[in-house]
Amino acid sequence: MFKHKYLNLNMGIVKENFVISKSEDEKLWNSRGFEKIRKYPIFNYFPNKNEIIMLGKPLTIKEFKVENFNGCQIIDFSTYIGTYGMGGSGFVGFKFNYNGEMRWLVYCIWLAGEHIILDDRILTCHPKFDDKYKPYIDYNNPNSLDSLKNIIKDLAIKNIDISDNEFNMILTDSKFNIHTISTKKESESFPEQAGTGVKRKSFENGIMSDYWLVIYDKTELMV
């Protein structure tokens, strides 16, 4: 039986990087390294006669090369990247323009916003811990996500430093103030899990660069 080479990538917890596109765009996605698959059972969805499903392979941040981010403006931000078919995995992504193509830098761990710190505050946590951690996204404030997006979309990447256990992205805003987006494999700054009341590691296996992936805009990550 033929097996598509981009099935079951096992890049951290990511299994596939797919796109549902118009049939007329097949050559475009081919040029980006994607290949058509005849049957890919996502959500029991099968493309109509004018659509195709294509699979590709993300680049790790080291494969993309960290120096290529320098000077890139962040265009958009999301805490809802990644799917397992019945819901989302909560990956956090930063959309940027690279040589005229829109891409995303994505931290591919479960509920990544709970492990990303902008300057001195966590992005998200379970609502029961809001008073303790004062996250940027407050689920009792429907405007807090838009407020965070407005902050992040004003930032340009100055430098990224990544080690086996730590990630730091230095950015500047339109007023030339310096900001930092950071995470670690393990930190006391991370909030507790709602169900257990215990802090968790960002990941158990591999190194930090395994979990920061670069994908094309309009594509999805399956876990």
Domain assignment present for 47 = no
> CA 214, 190, 107 angle in degrees (round to 5)?
5
Tens of each residue's pLDDT in the chain, 223 residues: 457 899 999 999 999 999 999 999 999 999 999 999 987 767 667 778 899 999 999 999 999 999 999 999 999 999 999 998 777 899 999 999 998 899 999 999 999 999 999 999 999 999 999 999 999 999 888 899 999 999 999 999 999 999 999 999 999 999 999 999 999 999 999 999 988 889 999 999 999 999 999 999 999 999 9
Domain assignment present for 22 = no
C-alpha closest to that of 94 among 214, 3, 210, 186: 214
C-alpha closest to that of 51 among 24, 28, 77, 23: 23
Domain assignment present for 168 = yes
pLDDT for 47 equals: 77
Domain assignment present for 3 = no
- Report pTM: 0.94
> CA 161, 110, 7 angle in degrees (round to 5)?
90
What is the DSSP-derived secondary structure letter of residue 42? B
Structural domain count, the chain:
1
Task: Give the structural domain span for 124.
Answer: 59-217
* 77, 152 contact by CB (below 8 A): yes
Domain assignment present for 13 = no
Domain assignment present for 31 = no
Domain assignment present for 18 = no
C-alpha closest to that of 206 among 190, 185, 183: 185
CB atoms < 10 A from the CB of 63, how many?
Answer: 11
Domain assignment present for 45 = no
